[in-house]
Structure 1
């Protein structure tokens, strides 16, 4: 795949294409392949993620590699919040455990801006996280893509 090949759906987004784009992003992140995920972003994409500000695919890939080395059994659900033209806002939650066995749930919002080829040029994420007990987990599918019949965030009361 050419790194800058169009990544449909393309802006301007409709409600349906924005939902599709959100699900494709969720699927990519649940695959936990940093190189593959980084290709969804422009070569000079700018991020804000907590206190880190990666710029460009190489920094994004390095960031994701570190993230998924510490965040074990990572499972993510994203939900469309709003869209307009080439922008999408999402809310999300993910669960993971650390190497000591402590489980966490992180909640957040992201604002995305896309180039006309469907690659994301900007990603601004705000995230809060809390420790949870294993029995409080809500994301119970095998690692990888969330099954279509698994409840989303609203269905889970998140």
Structure 2
């Protein structure tokens, strides 16, 4: 009987660790462009595919506007055209590399901002006329819009 309890505990701990690992990995995927001197057009296309896949997920980039998405795609198209014309980053002139680095920085900044704004934050708020609280979950961007709207009302 002692070994059965020990085995059950061990199984429970194993399941708990597995669940914790899965939960920790969820939403931690950090996509962006990483351009090295050896980056080729094919390397870039693989990174772009990962970005497009992440953008297709409804939650991680939910607060990215259509204009930001089109601007992001335009920057990715420009990088792809430059890399396709030269073959690799190493074959480019210094001016072309600088322009490509600036485009890549813009892409990474847009992705980081959109991911940050799409993060969901939950708080417990008191219900009017009651001692009970309720859980309210909003994205960072939604909270910012509410705050700005309240500030505008106060100023008027």
Does the alignment reach a TM-score above 0.5? no
Return the TM-score normalized by structure 2. 0.23
Return the TM-score normalized by structure 1. 0.23
Bigger helix fraction = 2
| Greater RCO structure (CA 8 Å; 6+ sep) | 1
